Amino acid sequence: MLYHIRMDVKLPPDLDPDVRADLLAREKEYSQKQQREGRWPHLWRVAGEYANISVVDVADHDELHEVLSGLPLFAYMDIEVTPLAVHPNKIAG
């Protein structure tokens, strides 16, 4: 199943710099692992914002929740999920 996801990151401004650096390093490692394993085929930065737009390809809602809640920054994100379906006018391929 494909999902369109918008994630807005809201880190506390007073977050310890070492904690922040660790979170960001773990976030990068985790998200790249999901990409390599094919669950996260699209990841786009929203220009001018600490946010991204992603397309995630997982088996079901439960797997989606597992992937998203596994993000090290999950506690600092506002996440909006939209399930996607194939459009009838789409050219195959």
Of 3, 24, 15, 9, the C-alpha closest to 78 is 9
Look at 77 and 86; give whichever has higher pLDDT: 77
pTM exceeding 0.85: yes
pLDDT reported for residue 93: 64
pLDDT reported for residue 92: 80
What domains appear along the chain, each with residue ranges and CATH number? Answer: 2-84 (3.30.70.1060)
**Which strand (E) or helix (H) includes residue 79?**
strand 77-84
Q: What is the pLDDT of residues 26-72, one digit of tens each?
A: 999 999 999 999 999 999 999 999 999 999 999 999 999 999 999 99
